[in-house]
Amino acid sequence: MTTATLSLSELTAAATDAAKISAAASDAQRAGWLTAVADALDANAAELVEIADSETSLGTTRLTGEVARTTGQLRLFARVITEGSYLEAVIDHANPDATPPTPDLRRILRPIGPVAVFSASNFPFAFSVAGGDTASALAVGCSVIVKAHSGHLRLSERTAEIVAEALRNAGAPEGIFALVSGREVGTALVQDPAIKAVGFTGSIPGGRALFDLATSRPEPIPFYGELGSLNPVVVTEAALAERSATLAEGLAGSFTLGAGQFCTKPGLVFIPAGTDFAEQVAEASKGKPALGMLTSRIAEAYPDGLRSFASVQGVEVVSGTVDQDAVANGAAPVVFSTTAAMVQENPGQLLEECFGPTTMLIEYTDRAELSAVLAKVPGSLTATVHAQPGEDVSALVEQLSELAGRVLFDGWPTGVAVNWAQQHGGPYPATTSLFTSVGATAVRRFQRPVAYQDAPESVLHPALVDSNPLGIPRRVDGDLILP
């Protein structure tokens, strides 16, 4: 269903009815719906990749892998809900001998209701129509209305057709999934009283505007936004002395990957002062080609961001040029270099995200100066440490843990594993909440806790029945009980 056939109010009304049916369905039923969608997307992968490449210029290799990631996410959430711990079922039996006596209390997480999902430009599959937000919301029993991204509208419409048909054929209720498009419709979707939560991946200005709408409604709702991230990397003196060439090659590959349009691109790299690492990175970046960007708007913004960096006194262009036409010729890599002191003097200009294949090398004189400049870095999705075995980096790791949701060691942040342990989120502006948007616990965003006091067993969810018919992990009278 799209707004071509139904109005927004009709779509949200249908989503409300469908959410009630989905919430009452078993985990096994909903897992079947997710698996059916995954199978349908895999069966149509070649067609979808062709459409996606024509709209995004991301290339068939990258896009084919992204389809596989997307269907893998759907199947992961099918496993998550059938395993059962996502319900966080807790039972505390009545205790008349307590002071005061305590009643029988049983708590579980329940679906929040219809969810709005805003597609991302840079991941036309994995963070889009059938991406992680949609999959995690459907998994726990929510209905979903997706707002298509204008950068890949044809792909969104075709993907939605496949998803809707797969859900219908698998027995999911009508209205459980729909697609809309257009900025005004997206704004109205966030404000519609039927919508109970929003998932968003995009720019800080756009996300903040929708966040403000969501929280200023007569009934405020959660807004789970992934907005912007600089993803700082720290290289120690010992690491640089031992493997500078390898580090330069790795950095060049990471910040240019996908034309630098990954949300986990390493935008800031802190290095010891007085080395030739900048020249090594410049050399490693020379062979990286200019690549087409996702949209003309993004391509137009890229040179503006480069010129903003270059205009700051004390910032050097190590390789590449800021005078480029990314719309006509693609985005070419640019490496900047400056000092920690310059960043501390100009945080508003130098600690801005520039979406594209560029990175900023920042020289620090000692650990104290490094700590001081890191304190200026805004919240990020990731932070990375390159150190040598035996180095004491515990204080550094603690500081990085405060500003990022994922801390990496001796690797590069581009590439996000989809599994049970993943955390893809961080302090604002990386995200607007504490929860991950990737991995098993992404479902937690679209659930709310409900406790039942002295309830008859006949009205309880099966997860709260003493006999545990679902065979799931539960906490009973304070003890974690595994099946």
Selected catalytic residue, list 66, 142, 237, 263: 263
Round the CA-based radius of gyration of the chain to a whole number and report it: 24
Phi, psi of 26 (to 5 degrees): -75, 160
Phi, psi of 174 (to 5 degrees): -60, 140
Selected catalytic residue, list 226, 237, 353, 363: 226
Within 13 Å and on the Cβ side, how many CA atoms surround 371?
10
Q: How far apart are CA 133 and CA 126, in angstroms?
A: 9
8 A C-beta contact, residue 368 and residue 344 = no
Q: Is 354 a catalytic residue?
A: no
Q: Is 249 a catalytic residue?
A: no
Phi, psi of 318 (to 5 degrees): -80, -40
Q: What is the DSSP string of 306-343?
A: HHHHHTSTT-EEEES-S---HHHH-BPPEEEEEEHHHH
**H or E, element range at 228:** none
DSSP state of 34: H
Tokens of 433: 């909440």
Q: Give the residue ranges of DSSP H helices in 131-257.
A: 132-140, 153-169, 183-191, 204-216, 237-255
Q: Say which residues have a Cβ less than 8 Å from residue 212's Cβ, sequence separation at least 6.
A: none
Q: How far apart are CA 200 and CA 206, in angstroms?
A: 9
Phi, psi of 226 (to 5 degrees): -105, 115
8 A C-beta contact, residue 282 and residue 319 = yes
8 A C-beta contact, residue 337 and residue 363 = yes
Q: How far apart are CA 406 and CA 68, in angstroms?
A: 23
Bond into 222 cis (ω within 30) = no
Residues designated catalytic: 226, 263
